[in-house]
Amino acid sequence: MKNHNMLDLLVPLSTEQLNCLKKLESTCSNIQCAWLSGYFWKAANHTSNSVSHKIINELNDKDQVITIISASQTGNGKLLSKRLYEYFNKNNKKSRLIDALDYKFKKIKDEKILILIISTQGEGEPPEEALSLYKFIMSKKAPKLDNLYYSIFGLGDTSYNLFCQAGKDFDKRFKELGASSLLDRLDADIEYEDMYNQWSKELLISINNKNIISNSSSLFSDKEDKSIISNPIYTKKNPAIATILTNQKITGRASKKDVHHIEIDIANLNINYTPGDAIGVWYKNDIHLVKKILELLSIKTSDIVKINTDTMTIFDALRNHFELTNNTKPIVRNYANFTKNKILKNIICSDVNLQNYVSETPLINMINNHPSKISAEQLISFLRPLTPRLYSISSSQAEIDNEIHITVGVVKKLISGCFHLGGASGYLSQLLKPDDVVRIFVETNNNFRLPLNKDTSIIMIGSGTGIAPFRSFIQQRDNDGSKGKNWIFFGNPSFTEDFLYQVEWQQYIKKGLLTKMNLAWSQDQEHKIYVQDKIRENGKEIWSWIQDGAQIYVCGNASKMAKDVEKALLDIISENSGMNFEDSDEYLNNLRMNQRYQRDVY
């Protein structure tokens, strides 16, 4: 057989198509070739995540008046965005709702009204799905926005230094580009409900007063509206009651880490989930911690308090409704004012001293060091409400069926000679036993998904409990009979103590499903080795996989591991493609926009 006939068999293009492609390639720069690669990959793999997603985003440009962008990290931003979308439509305001990842940001110059609901992650950074939009807006390529009216609702946590920083950054940049604010930016703490309700009402009034748009009939039929705002059975406000099947420590006795594998029975709950999703867990505070706090403050466990419309004992309130393991600057300020403690009063005079104090002193330590007599009502007036914790699901429903598995790393800090456990991780790992019940709900994560094309190869990068979603990925790929190659990079302190799910990975390697696994043990030799080091060692092959269409996933700590991994990936791209740093960064961002570079970071 002649060579060109063999080529015809290997390349599924006609001669005319192939000649056109080669001609185009000869005129393109490296970055343009990279963009085309992503463009064709997305065209081959693209499908809507859901019917509702498709309906919302296929709104014609001529119909679009108000654009609501959801930039969510834990799901709160997405929930509020949907509520605002409903609110506008009920009040006859044409609007569209779109995830930040799917927003065609280069068309922002054509917007009339843009509403951004955005959370903050890591060290003041935008959520993962908004990174591409953030990079564009902050770049020199951002257009003038003189005709844009906008409003920003920021979601954050005052216990962090850079509170709602992502929203602040967008607000400042929009103003620099000439946009006009409909309302002053609102920065909301974890208790955001009242603030959101007031903001949404004032926002509607402001839009009406500006007379930018006219009222119109609702854009969609009743049938379409129901599909747009479809809700799962179990939610944050309406969790399922599930049963614990297994709670097993999976790190060695000598390990510095305490990691538990927990299996939850969902057989009779009609819960569905997809690899990449997370589970929300409503936890309870430790009884001994609750009693100790009340004792130090001279409050009786039977004292009655009122939370919204519910009346209960202060003991039940602290056990089930308030955060007791994280200290914050507002808590210290309030406690200092209630107790009139001179030491605390002196600390709160300096923001630097206050921040250091908060980071080094848990709530119980502060109260223990400065006990006082306050009322039950005063106590709950400055405590933060308990919120559920999210954990990446480490199982595939296609293989596990009626169970959800999670991998829980126990948060444990040694402070003043005492160990302090994280509220949720301590509850899950230490207090729950088989047959105990737990309140849960599934948090969908459409920004961390396996490729639709099962022949696509994937590279998974994680450290510690960041391995969890990749266990679900491999189970799903095994169940689907996927032909794409699978490569895992995993890091932890020690091979003998911290190789999470070791037997399973070895079985997948033996079976041929797991193509490669590179391991980084930071404490097993004098020179510390991390996953980013292993990535650099395999740079040439990783680049080859990327060129062949592989999809990259990263799961782990946002401020440390994920940043180091991204730097390593940028170095690989630059070294193997000849691109400079700026072009390498744009190349990686193109991968992100085409969903070939996805991160689940925390």
164 marked among binding-site residues:
yes
> Would you state the structure tokens that stand for residue 426, as one six-digit string?
């301590």
**Cβ 594 vs Cβ 39: under 8 Å:** yes
Please write down the long-range contacts of 476-481, taking CB distance under 8 Å and 24 or more positions apart.
476/275, 476/396, 476/398, 476/399, 476/450, 477/450, 477/513, 478/399, 478/508, 478/511, 478/513, 479/396, 479/398, 479/399, 480/398, 480/454, 481/454
309 marked among binding-site residues:
no
> Which class for 573: exposed (0-12), middle (13-18), buried (19 or more C-beta within 10 A)?
buried
> Would you state the structure tokens that stand for residue 343, as one six-digit string?
């030491």
> Would you state the structure tokens that stand for residue 430, as one six-digit string?
């230490």
48 marked among binding-site residues:
no
597 marked among binding-site residues:
no
Encode 431-463 in three state secondary structure.
HCCCCCEEEEEEECCCCCCCCCCCCCCEEEEEE
Closest Cα partner for 101 from 69, 79, 75? Answer: 69
391 marked among binding-site residues:
yes
How far apart, in whole angstroms, are the C-alpha atoms of residue 519 and residue 497?
13
426 marked among binding-site residues:
no
163 marked among binding-site residues:
yes
119 marked among binding-site residues:
yes
276 marked among binding-site residues:
no
325 marked among binding-site residues:
yes
32 marked among binding-site residues:
no
392 marked among binding-site residues:
yes
How far apart, in whole angstroms, are the C-alpha atoms of residue 92 and residue 85?
11
Please write down the long-range contacts of 221-227, taking CB distance under 8 Å and 24 or more positions apart.
224/55, 225/89, 227/51, 227/52, 227/55
532 marked among binding-site residues:
yes
301 marked among binding-site residues:
no
**Beta carbons within 8 Å of 307's beta carbon, 6+ residues apart:** 317, 321, 380
227 marked among binding-site residues:
no
359 marked among binding-site residues:
yes
* Tokens 């309302």 belong to residue: 183
178 marked among binding-site residues:
no
427 marked among binding-site residues:
no
245 marked among binding-site residues:
no
- Calculate helix-pair angle for 329-339, 351-360, nearest 10 degrees: 100
Query: What stretch of H or E contains 384?
Result: none
72 marked among binding-site residues:
yes
Query: What stretch of H or E contains 551?
Result: strand 551-556
425 marked among binding-site residues:
yes
85 marked among binding-site residues:
no
507 marked among binding-site residues:
no
* Alpha carbon distances (Å) from 182 to 149, 309, 346: 6, 34, 40
How far apart, in whole angstroms, are the C-alpha atoms of residue 533 and residue 568?
8
483 marked among binding-site residues:
no
**Beta carbons within 8 Å of 69's beta carbon, 6+ residues apart:** 81, 98, 99, 100, 103, 114, 115, 116, 117, 118, 130, 133
74 marked among binding-site residues:
yes
181 marked among binding-site residues:
no
76 marked among binding-site residues:
yes
159 marked among binding-site residues:
yes
424 marked among binding-site residues:
yes
> Which class for 164: exposed (0-12), middle (13-18), buried (19 or more C-beta within 10 A)?
buried
302 marked among binding-site residues:
no
Measured CA angle at 591 (ends 460, 73), to 5 deg: 70
**Cβ 127 vs Cβ 121: under 8 Å:** yes
221 marked among binding-site residues:
no
558 marked among binding-site residues:
no
**Cβ 67 vs Cβ 98: under 8 Å:** yes
Instruction: Report the binding-site residues for NADP(+).
Output: 522-523, 528-532, 564
Instruction: Report the binding-site residues.
Output: 72-77, 119-122, 155-164, 325, 359, 389-392, 407-409, 422-425, 522-523, 528-532, 564, 602
Instruction: Report the binding-site residues for FAD.
Output: 325, 359, 389-392, 407-409, 422-425, 602
Instruction: Report the binding-site residues for FMN.
Output: 72-77, 119-122, 155-164
